[in-house]
């Protein structure tokens, strides 16, 4: 188990709870989506994984590191890379390669290793050739890929995307999602935080959060097709799921509840061949 958390509660103000009795487990190589509406506690939870927030209550282990011990924070930060929402807030240097190199220097990666690591990380996010570009001349999707390269260059165990697609246009979003998918297929452990239900469909597992609590944890099918659960979480189910239920109301029964557009087409096709 790469991440193992139990009974995690957290308060910013010492009064109201931003997290309440949260349980979370993540296995190596898993693609976990943390889904929930605004303010449900998603960012607060993952900020515990690399000690950006201190563990106030409960237990948490990340890659065998006990978060109650403060000594290992730098090792933990390196193991647990994060890409944030705003692509413009993640750069410190004037060129792409300097920016990634700066992060490596900060973590005291030996100098002679740096150029090779920068090159490999840019290749992974398909940004080779952009080494000398100024980050502010890139598109939103490209900026997020460079920010991700900065994280990958540190060779993390876990890569966390905290709404990393939320500020991007559809094309930029697709670019980032495609890289996420590629990294997952290459065996990386991915945590994707999102309030877009469509982005959780491809996950291995979804943790559904609401008001600081875990409402449910399970497969995308189990979570996203459960109308009562989605309603409780104040989330709108994916379009194929809504259509499935609307059709039922109209007396048209699809065999299975589809999650993706492809599955929806498949179900509609079967309906047609029956009549």
* Chain-centroid distance, C-alpha 137: 26
Which residue, 17 or 127, has its beta carbon nearer to ligand ADP?
17
Q: What is the dihedral angle through the alpha carbons of 60, 65, 68, 70, rounded to the nearest 10 degrees?
A: -140
Tell which residue, 154, 94, 152, 161, has the closest CA to residue 122: 152
**Pairing assessment for the beta strands 189-194 and 158-162 based on DSSP bridges:** parallel
234 is a site residue for ligand ADP (CB under 6 A): no
50 is a site residue for ligand ADP (CB under 6 A): no
Joined together, the tokens standing for residue 22 give: 């949260």
165 is a site residue for Mg ion (CB under 5 A): no
191 is a site residue for ligand ADP (CB under 6 A): no
- Three-class SS of 9-52: EECCCCCCCCEEEEEEEECCCCEEEEECCCCCCHHHHHHHHCCC
> Which of Mg ion, ligand ADP, none does residue 140 bind to, with CB < 5 to 8 Å depending on kind?
none
**By rule CB under 5 A, what count of residues binds Mg ion?**
1
Q: Which stretch binds ligand ADP (CB under 6 A): 40-48, 70-78, 112-120, 255-263?
A: 40-48
- In the DSSP assignment, the letter for residue 92 is -
Shortest spacing between CB 39 and ligand ADP, in angstroms: 4
Which residue, 26 or 264, has its beta carbon nearer to Mg ion?
26
**By rule CB under 6 A, what count of residues binds ligand ADP?**
10
258 is a site residue for ligand ADP (CB under 6 A): no
43 is a site residue for Mg ion (CB under 5 A): yes
Shortest spacing between CB 81 and Mg ion, in angstroms: 17
**Pairing assessment for the beta strands 31-35 and 205-210 based on DSSP bridges:** parallel
Task: List interacting residues with ligand ADP (CB under 6 A).
Answer: 12, 18, 36, 38-44
Interacting residue ranges for Mg ion, rule: CB under 5 A: 43
């Amino acid at each position: 188990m790469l991440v193992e958390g139990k009974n995690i509660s957290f308060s910013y103000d010492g009064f109201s709870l931003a997290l309440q009795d949260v349980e979370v487990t993540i296995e190596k190589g898993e693609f976990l989506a943390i889904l929930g509406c605004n303010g449900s506690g998603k960012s607060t939870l993952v900020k515990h994984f690399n000690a950006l927030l201190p563990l106030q209550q409960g237990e948490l282990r990340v890659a065998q590191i006990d978060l109650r011990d403060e000594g290992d924070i730098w090792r933990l930060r390196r193991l647990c890379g994060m890409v944030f929402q705003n692509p413009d807030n993640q750069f410190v240097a004037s060129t792409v390669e300097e920016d990634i190199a700066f992060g490596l220097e900060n973590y005291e990666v030996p100098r002679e290793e740096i150029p090779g690591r920068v090159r490999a990380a840019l290749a992974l996010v398909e940004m080779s050739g952009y080494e000398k570009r100024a980050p502010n001349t890139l598109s939103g999707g490209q900026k997020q890929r460079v920010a991700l390269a900065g994280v990958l260059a540190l060779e993390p165990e876990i890569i966390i995307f905290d709404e990393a697609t939320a500020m991007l246009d559809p094309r930029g979003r697709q670019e980032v999602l495609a890289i996420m998918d590629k990294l997952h297929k290459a065996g990386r452990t991915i945590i994707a935080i999102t309030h877009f239900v469509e982005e959780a469909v491809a996950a291995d597992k979804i943790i559904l959060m609401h008001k600081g609590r875990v409402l449910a944890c399970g497969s995308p099918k189990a979570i996203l097709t459960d109308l009562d659960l989605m309603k409780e979480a104040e989330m709108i189910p994916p379009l194929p799921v809504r259509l499935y239920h609307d059709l039922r109301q109209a007396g048209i029964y699809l065999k299975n509840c589809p999650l993706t557009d492809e599955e929806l087409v498949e179900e509609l096709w079967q309906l047609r061949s029956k009549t």
